[in-house]
Amino acid sequence: MRSAVVVGAGLGGMAAAGVLARSGWQVTLLERADRVRPEATAVVLWPNGVRALRALGLGDGLDAIATPLPDGGVRRPDGHWLVQARSTPAERMPVVVHREDLHDALIAGLGDRVELRTGVTVRTVRAASGERPAVGDGRHTYEADLVVAADGTDSEIRRHLAPEAAVVSSGCAAWRAVIPWYRAPQLPDDQPVHGETLGAGYRFLAASLGERGTAGASRRGGVYWVATAAGAPRPEPPEIQLALLKRWFAGWPAPIGTLLEATDPEDVVQQEIRELRPLPKAYGFPAGPGGVVLLGDAAHAMPPHLGQGACLAFEDAATLAGLLRESRLPDAVTAYDRLRRPRAATMVRQTRRMSAVLQARGRLALRARDAALGTISPRLRNTAAAAAAAWQPPS
């Protein structure tokens, strides 16, 4: 029986561990934290992410936990429309999913061939040509035919194998929250939840997660919002951070103020936005009879402006699984590198172009951005959407 060690029990790591186990592999899933617990936020999945989940065999339950996310347009803080809402074909419409619901689906898909070990911090990596790949924590060595590095932006495995890839700040921080269904405000018809508002260094997006699931459905309802601001993360406690958000976004169009008032401090999750510059020179490293691959943020951490982080991680897992069904190790590792590097580079390039538009600051830059946004933003979004939609799992 073939064996794999997957390092990191985030969304991408669990997806990879589950599909390998369902394909007959014996999998050891290592997680640094003492518990595997998702953030109480949400994730947007574009059509390529949905397609990847279906390729991973996890599509059956997705409809029960996903809410379609229509285009809500883009406004300035004074309410002026920069980009009007548009009708989006169903096949190109993203969906929003509560992370806890998605986490539950991934846990259910692990099966009994996955051994989960928590509290394991990988410190050593072995990827020599004459030996089976392995990782170690200083006490134990975990050896397998394949090692999947899904250990996030600060990947220790990537640091050993692709030291050229540096983690840098994207120059902003994000705050995310889900207002649960029982506290979500009832909004008038002229105040749709879906939409984006863009200011000078500040951005606010919101989406409905729908109603709480009825009998037989696990979906957690509520309203999901994301606020970004230029600068470093705030050191203050959540109560003060929420008060700052209310001050920063005071006077912005409804329903932003209503949503912030309905948010409790414990709902808010702060995150520094970081990325890899440059990207790794390789995503696959043949070693002995197998090899090591980089997956998810360990391979291509990027700003969230196009919502492709989780989608690309699921693409990585689906691509890896498809190649392992078609090819023998280490050929599958080489093919994974050949397929995933140009794909990730394309999506990172699209994200950086959008970042340049969204993060414009200064009076002249903002005037130029607002004047051109009606043309530039849809074109960039359409280009990114087309690039995302073009992905297909290996046949």
pLDDT in tens, 324-344: 999 999 999 999 999 999 999
Residue at 326: amino acid letter: E
Average pLDDT, the chain: 91
Mean pLDDT, rounded, for 306-322: 96
Residue 17 has pLDDT above 80, yes or no: yes
What is the number of other CB atoms lying within 10 angstroms of the CB of residue 379? 12
> Which residues is 208 bridged to in the sheet?
223
pTM of the model: 0.94
Q: pLDDT tier at 362 (50, 70, 90 boundaries)? A: low
Question: Would you say the C-alpha torsion 354, 99, 247, 181 has a positive or negative sign?
Answer: positive
- DSSP secondary structure letter of residue 304: S
Instruction: List Cα–Cα distances, 322 to 16, 55, 72, 178, 392, in angstroms.
Output: 11, 9, 36, 35, 11
d(CA 356, CA 250): 25
* pLDDT at position 375: 56
Residue 216 has pLDDT above 50, yes or no: no
Is residue 333 within 8 Å of residue 35, measured between CB atoms? no
Q: pLDDT tier at 320 (50, 70, 90 boundaries)? A: very high
* pLDDT at position 215: 39
Residue 191 has pLDDT above 70, yes or no: yes
| Percent over 90 (pLDDT), the chain | 73
- Summarised one tens digit per residue, pLDDT across range 118-135 is 999 999 999 998 899 999
Cis peptide leading into residue 278 (ω within 30°) = yes
